[in-house]
Chain A
Amino acid sequence: MKTFKIGGIHPEENKLAKEEAIEVFPIPKQVTLFVTQHLGAPSTPIVQAGDKVKVGQLVATAQTLVCANLHSPVSGTVVKVEPVPDMTGYRKLAITIDVEDDIWEETIDTTSEIRKEITLTKPEIIERIKACGVVGLGGACFPTHVKYMVPPEKKVDYIIVNGAECEPYITTDHRIMLENGEECLIGVQALLIASGAPEARIGIEANKPDAFEHLQRLASQYPNIKVFKLKTKYPQGAEKQLIKSLTGREVPNGKLPIEVGCIVNNITTTYAIYEAVQKNKPLIETYTTISGKRAKTLKNYKIRLGTSISEVLSTVGIPENTGKIVSGGPMMGKAIANINSYFVKGMSSLLFIDESESKRGVVEECIRCGKCVTACPMGLEPYLLYALATRADYEECEKHGIMNCIECGSCQYGCPAFRPLLDMIRVGKNKTGYMIRTRNK
């Protein structure tokens, strides 16, 4: 069993919804699509109020390099293209569509037949991934095609596939591996062609033995795909830690995975890639775990983008004494401020955190226990970064590696003095980053 060496923690796994098969959430009456569903510049709407659209039709295009296309997840009529408050309460430009029927673009293969044979060439695959608006579904929503635009002097040795799903509660990757494992592996094949890499390595945490065995069995027909069991330890699925676990290579400080010949994709993303490359189907859905210690129902939903969050919440019911609703995992996800917002790409969960857990403990003096230091997977000293950031000493922050922080939250999770370490480190990181950028100009 493989793992990374430095730091890491063992939060309660709480994979409560792992037995729930993926269920399709009913198509809503109206959807609202933010043009910022990915990391990078907003995409540009190409439809206006009154336009008729079909499922899978392009409605906003990527104008810059780090940006992603956006397609209509429903058929119907565009009613407005106007700013709407997002999950955090900020107004963002969005396309609102009234749903009529469920008519798909003819170019999309809507059959359930699994297409194994890949006929597209390397550039065509990358172009298709881009055209279909595929982004990383592991949380960051980074446009996938950008990762495959490898500079000519760099060689890709490994495609790394993240099936770790190290965040507590979330079970969508787990379900996708069990239910669509075969398609995922075809997606991985497409990525091997797209990158020219000789080998792909899939890492799955040991707490999902069924998914591991299933994929290992399926992978036996592909000599260039290897499946590995990883130790259950957070943040096993963090890009750099996963590369270290699976290849032993350490991405140098401040560099991207390609520096050590790796490209990392999440397992659910490989399914989206399969659908794009083999079925010509754009990314118009998100897989979302509904969970929480006191959740009324546990679900793994497939939800059309733009579905209203409150509609899903009223279907599943909000448990009593919910203090916080978190989108994404409890370690790295975001607390939802505005439930009258809409689903976006990669929104992998709605978690109900009980009041008793969501209230933070009273902050006390640092007792120098060193738990934050031993927990940090990047080998940083969070207590020190906290102090430096509080003092606004960003030169020292930089020296002590604040920019290497991957914001995994391991430090804050275990601090017995309840110090808001990551809150402050985030502030410090922003300011230090700004300082570095302006210095070089």
Chain B
Amino acid sequence: MNERLLQVSGSPHIHSGESVKKIMWSVIIALIPAFLVSIFYFGIPVIILTFVAVASCVVIEYLIQKYLLKGEITIWDGSAIITGLLLAFNLPANLPLWMVVIGAAFAIGIGKMAFGGLGKNLFNPALAARVFLLISFPVQMTTYPIAKPIFHLGADIITGPTPLGILKEGVKNGQPVDSIMHSTQMPDYINMLFGQMGGSFGEVSAIAIAIGAIFLLIRKVITWHIPVSFLLSVFLFAGIFHWVDPTMYANPFFHLLTGGVMLGACFMATDMVTSPISPRGMIVFGLGCGIITMVIRLFGAYPEGVSFAILIMNSLVPLINKGFKPKVFGVAKQK
């Protein structure tokens, strides 16, 4: 018998092969459909802005890890790329690029590294940065380019309000919802579904986002719990108000398709690090996100509300994790 050294360690002796890197790259792949649609509607600026956001995130993470923390460099795990992509997706396509860099610095520096890096951050870094930009540069952050298929686009970018902005403005002026919905400014539902409307560039196409989300579900990177509970609570909340007073409150489908609900529910709220761990907790989290989104939309100052809702729920995750434990085997129902 030839001598050889065998490895000894505790069971299990096999592994699924899943890794953090593979998960992160799956998310990146899942974002591609929405990215392509955005290029189609908003043109070249989308590519430039995304490149700047991703590059700044990666470079800033590298600089912090190399010179500030003097530790391991983890930029290739893909998480900084995702932060960059999601940040870009949540910005208007015509935002000045220096603002994008500031956003990236905030996302990585404050949103992620200040908490101790990937896995320890409380808030979704991209969303934290978006809200930071929204507060710092309210005008630029709410001036959205009008979506036009690429072959119609002239040299100038025309800007205009988002569907939710149109709605909020109209309701404030006392117009009935019905007539706002049929105004010329308002895109129809088909356009909303495919993404021809104003908004942050990555959030516009419900269909492209859904394709990405289905990929992630099949890859088992995300589970249905958060997206479904999020979308369902938005739908029900909006639905009830619409049913009570259709002249004041818009149709629930309108709320589902606009203002980043789809992007939020499928890609932002499902961020593993900043969402609850157990399926029960995830459902509570999703419901919370949906309800807060609608409260902000219907009663708050901002026309949308997805970013705030997710950030608020992010801060509750430690509590949710404590309060909603998985069902334990062999323990009769408590209380």
Contacts and interface: CB of A to CB of B under 8 A. Distances in A.
Same complex origin of A and B: yes
Interface of A: 6, 9, 11-12, 88, 168, 240, 244, 250-255, 310, 313-314, 318, 322-326, 330-337, 339, 351, 353, 357-361, 364-371, 373-374, 376-381, 383, 401, 404, 407, 409-410, 412-418, 420, 422-423, 426
Interface stretch (B232-240, B286-294, B320-328): B320-328
7 nearest A-B residue pairs (beta carbon): A409-B12, A365-B119, A379-B328, A253-B330, A370-B277, A369-B272, A335-B8
A436 to B, nearest CB: 17
Given A368-B119, A373-B326, A416 B20 contact: yes
A436 B278 CA distance: 28
B14 interface: yes
B13 interface: yes
Contact of B15 (A254, A361, A366): A361
Contacts of A378: 328-330
A250 B326 CA distance: 16
A386 to B, nearest CB: 13
B119 A324 contact: no
B304 to A, nearest CB: 27
Interface in B282-305: 282
B16 interface: yes
B75 interface: no
Contacts of B4: 318, 322
A325 B10 CA distance: 12
B329 A240 contact: yes
B6 A339 contact: yes
Contact of A325 (B6, B18, B275, B329): B6
B165 interface: no
22 contacts: A9-B16, A11-B16, A313-B1, A318-B4, A325-B6, A330-B14, A333-B11, A361-B19, A367-B23, A367-B118, A370-B279, A370-B282, A379-B325, A379-B328, A380-B328, A381-B278, A404-B328, A409-B11, A414-B16, A420-B10, A422-B10, A422-B12
A332 B11 contact: yes
A368 B15 contact: no
A299 B143 CA distance: 71
Given A330-B13, A359-B7, A401-B328, A414 B277 contact: no
A363 B77 CA distance: 13
Contacts of B173: none
Interface of B: 1, 4, 6-16, 18-20, 22-23, 77, 117-120, 223, 272-273, 275-279, 282, 325-332
A324 B7 contact: yes
A252 B22 contact: no
Nearest to B330: A253
A377 B272 contact: no
A364 B20 contact: yes
Contacts, number: 166
Given A252-B332, A324-B7, A416-B18, 6 more contacts: A6-B326, A334-B11, A353-B13, A365-B118, A373-B277, A418-B19
Contacts of A12: 14
Interface centre among B4, B11, B18, B331 (most CB of A within 10 A): B11
A93 B279 CA distance: 50
Contacts of B275: 368
Interface of A is mostly: loop
Interface centre among B1, B14, B23, B279 (most CB of A within 10 A): B14
A422 B275 CA distance: 24
A231 to B, nearest CB: 17
Contacts of B332: 252
Contact of A381 (B10, B77, B326): B326
B31 to A, nearest CB: 18
A335 B118 contact: no
A422 B11 CA distance: 8
A337 B5 CA distance: 9
Contacts of A336: 6, 8
B102 to A, nearest CB: 27
B329 A335 contact: no
Given A314-B1, A365-B118, A378-B328, A413 B15 contact: yes
Contacts of B331: 252-253, 379
Contacts of B8: 88, 324, 335-337
Given A253-B328, A369-B23, A369-B272, A331 B14 contact: yes
Contacts of A318: 4
Interface centre among B9, B16, B272 (most CB of A within 10 A): B16
A381 to B, nearest CB: 7
Given A364-B20, A367-B119, A370-B272, A379 B15 contact: no
Nearest to B317: A368
B13 A335 contact: yes
Contacts of B12: 330-332, 409-410, 412-413, 422
Given A365-B119, A416-B20, A417-B20, A381 B329 contact: no
Contact of B20 (A367, A381, A420): A367
B33 to A, nearest CB: 23
Nearest to B118: A365
Contacts of B327: 6, 379
Contacts of A377: 329
Contacts of B282: 370
B315 to A, nearest CB: 15
Contacts of A250: 329-330
B15 A360 contact: yes
Contacts of B9: 324, 335, 360, 423
Contacts of A360: 9, 15
A413 B20 contact: no
Given A9-B16, A335-B7, A335-B13, A379 B326 contact: yes
Given A313-B1, A335-B7, A336-B6, A367 B273 contact: yes
A89 to B, nearest CB: 9
Contacts of B16: 9, 11, 413-414
Contacts of B15: 357, 360-361, 412-414, 418
A371 B278 CA distance: 9
A173 B327 CA distance: 32
Given A251-B330, A416-B19, A366 B14 contact: no
B18 A323 contact: no
A378 B326 CA distance: 9
Contacts of B326: 6, 373-374, 376, 379-381
Contacts of A364: 20, 77, 119
A412 B272 CA distance: 18
B273 A368 contact: yes
